[in-house]
Amino acid sequence: MNRREIHKQVAYALMACTGIVIITGLGITEPGIITPLTFGLFDKFISFRIHTFLWGPFCILCIIHIWLTKTTHPKKQ
């Protein structure tokens, strides 16, 4: 796997992570909307657990994504 392919995997993982963090964040504040929308999967308690767990991986993926952006897309002089 070359650098570009690794970057793609990291970017898609980051995108998935971002989506789940936003949905679970809303699941904490608006369980009345999110719980039925996710067919009972993300109730307030589960949302809270996932939201609290996921911010670490989110930060790490964000840092790797920005770092890979800097190294695989160097600024043209």
Q: List residues near ligand HEM by CB under 6 A.
A: 4, 7-8, 11-12, 14-15, 18, 21-22, 25-26, 28-29, 51-52, 55, 58, 62, 65-66, 69, 73
Nearer to ligand HEM, 38 or 65 (CB): 65
For tokens 């999110």, name the residue.
34
Taking Cα atoms as reference points, which of 59, 31, 63 lies closest to residue 47? 31
For tokens 């897309």, name the residue.
73
Taking Cα atoms as reference points, which of 77, 69, 54 lies closest to residue 7? 69
- Position with the least CB separation from ligand HEM: 25
Q: Minimum distance from CB of 40 to ligand HEM (Å)?
A: 19
Contact between residue 69 and residue 42 where contact means Cβ atoms under 8 Å apart = no
Nearer to ligand HEM, 40 or 73 (CB): 73
